[in-house]
Structure 1
Amino acid sequence: MAVRPEGTPVWADAMFKDVELAKTFYGDVLGWTFGESSSEFGDYTQAYRNGKAVAAVVPPMPGDDGQGQSAWCLYFASPDAAATAEKVRAAGGTVLMEPMQVGDFGSMCLAQDPTGAVFGVWQAGRHEGFELEGETGSYIWAEVFTREPAKADAFYATVFGFRSKKMQDPDMDYRVFDLGGDPLLGRMEMTAEDFPPEVPSYIQVYFAVDNCDKAVEAAERLNGRKVFGPMDSPFGRFAAILDPQGAAFAVIDVRTTVGEMPEMV
């Protein structure tokens, strides 16, 4: 697999107090199977779709009481995690976990943008990232949700070299980031009308599904909660969900589209 350009989303994982519950939930909603947990790396457990790695789940680290909010974390590619961590600091972000080597799999760090959204940085070794993406049951898209869009735009442009285009929609402030090629990441302004003040900035990860409505039904059957949708759009029929342990994610059926694509400038 070719090395992904710096700033490309390459991996997603989430920490769960009850890993077995998470495996049951995502196994049913997204059709995932799971490998053996790696005790050497904190029982990190990879998820697979059709035998290809798509994400991972992990229990809280030793000393963590597990009371923190479960959340999906998106990782961006970096040729040098330590150098990227310095760029995060210089751009006004915060390094939450210093760069560390993860065996021969690669190196990682965790960071937070100046508006509060948490993300990861991954310098690939033997583990290069998603083995499947853009297909049913795998990662397909992500969006930064923030109340300070200008600050977020400047941060990601500085750290990863993103260029951006604004969607021509008078009802929302939405941008798409790229590195000169295909779109890589969206950025949505969180408005007071749609987001309670206690909801922090975050990055929402989207997984592809064959049928959005059935995915929502499966999630609710397993004590997940629909937050938004299902809703039709030119990009696909999508919905936002909270899993039983509070981790937010979205599902989208990109084959069911309604309306014309908006202009981006």
Structure 2
Amino acid sequence: MSTRESYAPGTPCWIDLMAPDVEAAKEFYTSLFGWTAQDSHDDDGTWIYTNFLHDGQVAAGLGRQPEEMSAAGMPPAWSTYVATGAVVSAWQPGSHRGAEVCNEPGTWSWNELMTRDLEAASAFYSAVFGWGYEDMPMPYGTYRVISGADEGGLGGLMAMPPNVPDEIPSYWTV
């Protein structure tokens, strides 16, 4: 059996299924693959999420598909997650295209990644989103401004300052 304790940034590291009928999905996949379903509950006993175990080790997950997605006819969907070193979300616009106002006082205006590996993070986001960068020298290293088509700077990436404790992971901030 192939077991993992970690994943390099840019490596697929997790899969989970979003299904409208969680019990039917649990029954189907435990029967199909011989998985064991391990449910998680909140403090009042309400189901939150299911981990599927293969020979006692976590192999995949299962969450409930939001009702609005089911009502819109979206079928159950498996998602692949990629280890990036920092949590990031991707957006596919539908009727809600995103923020209607930004870069004004009292609104969102900048995103910034603090990373433990600036070169790997820059290469990853460039490959995934096609980002280019303009480097700016800073007292403790390089600040990379994400260059956009006609928007100017879209955000920035920078190496974690050396005085940040090792237990602080890479992270995005707004």
TM tier relative to shorter chain: 0.5 to 0.7
Task: Tell me the distance in 2 between the aligned counterparts of 1:153 and 1:102.
Answer: 39
* 1:114–1:93 CA distance, 2 compared to 1 (3 A): same
CA RMSD in angstroms comes to: 3.4
Task: Tell me the distance in 2 between the aligned counterparts of 1:94 and 1:174.
Answer: 28
1:127 is aligned to 2:127: no
Structure 2: tracts of 5 or more residues without a match:
1-8, 19-68
Structure 1: tracts of 5 or more residues without a match:
1-89, 206-265
2:102 aligned counterpart, secondary structure = coil
TM-score when normalising by structure 1: 0.36
Structure 1 consecutive aligned stretches of length 4 or more whose deviation exceeds 2 Å: 90-104, 109-115, 168-173
Task: Tell me the distance in 2 between the aligned counterparts of 1:110 and 1:178.
Answer: 29
1:100-119 alignment, distance < 5 Å: 103=72, 114-119=83-88
1:6-85 alignment, distance < 5 Å: none
Structure 1 residue 112: deviation in Å? 6.7
Structure 1 residue 164: deviation in Å? 0.6
1:103-252 alignment, distance < 5 Å: 103=72, 114-181=83-150, 182-193=152-163, 195-205=164-174
Quick check: which has more Rg, 1 or 2? 2
Task: Tell me the distance in 2 between the aligned counterparts of 1:93 and 1:131.
Answer: 33
* 1:131–1:121 CA distance, 2 compared to 1 (3 A): same
Greater relative contact order (CA < 8 Å, ≥ 6 in sequence): 2
Aligned amino acid, residue 148 of structure 1: D
Q: How many residues matched?
A: 112
Structure 1 residue 179: deviation in Å? 3.2
* 1:118–1:164 CA distance, 2 compared to 1 (3 A): same
1:76-102 Cα offsets, whole Å, 9 max, x none, are: xxxxxxxxxxxxxx9436567678889
